[in-house]
Amino acid sequence: MKTILLTNDDGFYSQGLTALQAELEKQHQVWVVAPDREMSAISMALTLNQPLRVKQIAEKVFAVNGTTSDCVNIAMQKILPQPPDFVVSGMNLGENLSEDVFFSGTVGGAFSGHLYGIPSLAISLVAGPGPHQPQGFPCDAGARVASRILDRLLSASHGRVVYNVNIPFPNRNEVALTRLGSKRYTPDIVERIDPRGRAYYWIGAGTPSYAGSEGSDVWAVQNGFVSLSIIRYDLNSREELQRLAAAFSGFSL
């Protein structure tokens, strides 16, 4: 039996988290520390200018009035009696493909675990055609898939990468090991006027454009595979540094 820290960005009440918790508890000791409300698209944001409150909901279940990364940090330092064997973030109701990893609170939660040197997994559920509402997501089936993937990772994973899983439904019951494709957004900026005559704005997701050759996460999900990607926390590019060194050779202020 392993100790799992489970978090998400949809809130502790999310159907995706609840289904995953129930499935993982069949084999592991699961601690849930998750936001008390939806915190989508906040990446690894931390709350710095207001106090954080922790409310115990049930045994080993805690809600925090902060971000997903807040939850992981508080769990690691103040709630769990010892570091977990694995951090699992999800199960997100909606995909986290390609460029989504820069914005996703789900992936941000996994990265927060990674910064503690803990193997970490982000899990997202991709619904089939129809309205993207919780009742449209097969959460119990997704949780079973996620649990089986975690079982494999427990013997092969390490803390030097983040694992990102996208589970489409329907699917082929096969896992494809993938690289990141491309998913670009042009957000819809909707302008409205409040009752006092002042403009305000809503930022919407817009309609993303997808691109990805065979072997990418986009290709895998579009072709019914469960996508398993790794994200390495290394923002350096030796090639670009060499190019920049050549451009600044002999330069002085």
- Residue 190 covered by a domain: no
**Contacts (Cβ under 8 Å, ≥6 apart) of 82:** 3
Question: Does residue 222 lie in a domain region?
Answer: yes
Within a domain: residue 194? Answer: no
pLDDT of residue 30: 98
CA end-to-end distance (rounded Å), the chain: 60
| pLDDT for the residue numbered 136 | 66
pLDDT tens per residue across span 69-84: 999 999 999 999 999 9
- What is the DSSP annotation of 149-170? HHHHHHHH--TTEEEEEEEESS
**Contacts (Cβ under 8 Å, ≥6 apart) of 8:** 14, 16, 17, 34, 35, 68, 89, 90, 91, 92, 105, 106, 109
> How many residues can be counted in the chain?
253
Low-confidence ranges of the chain (pLDDT < 70): 128-136
Is 111 within a domain?
A: yes
Query: Residue 138 in contact with residue 226, Cβ under 8 Å?
Result: no
- The answer to whether position 192 is within a domain reads no
- Distance, in Å, from the CA atom of 237 to the CA atom of 180, rounded to the nearest integer, reads 17
What pLDDT shows up at residue 199? 96
CATH assignment at residue 118: 3.40.1210.10
Domain residues for the domain of 150 are 3-182+212-247
In a domain, 195, yes or no: no
Q: Which pLDDT does position 131 carry in this prediction?
A: 41
SS3 211: strand
Q: Which residues pair with 190 in a beta bridge?
A: 202
Q: By the 8 A CB rule, do 60 and 37 touch?
A: no
* Number of alpha carbons in the 13 Å side-chain half-sphere of residue 174: 9
The tally of domains found in the chain comes to 1
Residue 154 lies in a domain: yes
pLDDT of residue 194: 96
The per-residue pLDDT for 119 is 95
Residue pLDDT, tens place only, 105-146: 999 999 999 999 999 999 999 975 444 444 568 999 999 999
* Residue 199 included in any domain: no
Helix (H, G, I), strand (E, B) or coil at 57: strand
pLDDT value for 128:
55
Predicted model pTM: 0.90
